[in-house]
Amino acid sequence: MLHIAVVDDDTAFSKGFCKQIKALFAAQQITCECRCFSEGGAFLKQADIFDVIFMDIDIPGFSGFEAAAHLHDIGSKAILLFVSSHDHFVYESFRYAPLRFLRKGHLEEELQEAVEAVCRKLHSDIITVENDQHIACTVELSHIAGFFAVRHDILLLYPDNTTMSLARRSCTMDSLEAQLKPFGFLRPHKSYLINYRYISRIYRERITLTDGGSIPMSRRKTSQIREQYSVLMRKETLS
C-alpha cells in the first residue's frame, strides 16, 4: 500500500486530483491511499507517514517550499512533486529536488508521466531477494546495511545488526555488486558489500560502521573505496 498526500488549499481540486492519482497508480498495479491537506501545518504533523507527496506551493500555514525544507530537515525519504498554477516557481523549486514540477493548467499532459516516474523511482529503490525458505522478499535499499558471505552462504545485514540468510545459489556477491553499485553499495572486500550510508570511518585495512562494528578491507582497495565514498558523500551533500 502506497501512502500519498495531496497538500492544496483548494479542496475541490484536491478531491478530484486524488481520484486521478489513484486511477493512474491502479493502472500500474499499485494500490494507494490518498489523503488531502488544506494547509501545511496539519500536513507536517503527519508528514513522516507518506511515501509520495504532491505539494502545492502557495498554501496557508507553511508555503510548499517551507514544507519541503522541513521534509529535508527530518530526513524524509518521500518522493516530492510540486503542483502549482504559478509556472514561474519552477526554477526556485529546483533547490528542493522535486521529482517533477506539475503545472495545474497542463495536468492532462503531465500527470500520467509523473506517476510513471514515481513508479520507476520506487522500483529503483528496492531489491527483491529470496530468503533461505525460498520466499521472495522485497526490501528497501535504505533499510539494508550490506551483505556478507560466509562460506557458501550470503546474509543480508540490517542496520540493527540482524541478518537474513539468502537462498543458496539465488545470487552471488558479484551479481549483488553489479546490481547495487549504482545505489551506493561498496565492495571493500570479496566477502562484503556495504551501503555507504552505514560507513562511519575508513581505515587502511578496516571500515568502521555506524553501529560501532567493523569489517575488513583489502589493502589494495583502500584508495578506490575512499574515492568512491568521497564521491557519494559529496553528492549527498549537494542534494
In the chain, where does the domain assigned CATH 3.40.50.2300 lie? 2-124
Within 10 Å of residue 4's Cβ, how many Cβ atoms?
22
Is the confidence at residue 4, as pLDDT, over 60? yes
CATH of 126-238, one of 1.10.3720.10, 3.30.470.20, 3.20.20.70, 2.40.50.1020: 2.40.50.1020
Kindly report the number of other CB atoms within 10 A of residue 193's CB atom. 25
Mean pLDDT on 159-177:
93
Write the pLDDT tens digit of every residue in 97-108. 899 999 999 999
Q: Per-residue pLDDT for 10 more than 90?
A: yes
CA distance 71 to 89: 19
Helix, strand, coil shares of the chain, percent, nearest 5, are 45, 30, 25
Tens-digit pLDDT profile for residues 174-233:
999 998 988 899 999 999 999 999 999 998 889 999 988 899 999 999 999 999 999 888
| Prediction pTM value | 0.59
CATH 2.40.50.1020 maps onto the chain at 126-238
Contact 208, 201 (CB under 8 A): yes
Cα–Cα distance measured from residue 84 to residue 18, given in angstroms and rounded to the nearest whole number: 15
pLDDT tens digits for range 49-106: 999 999 999 888 788 999 999 998 888 889 999 999 998 899 899 888 899 999 999 9
Fold observed for domain 2-124:
Rossmann fold (3.40.50)
Q: Centre a 10 Å sphere on the Cβ of residue 26 and count the other Cβ atoms it contains.
A: 11
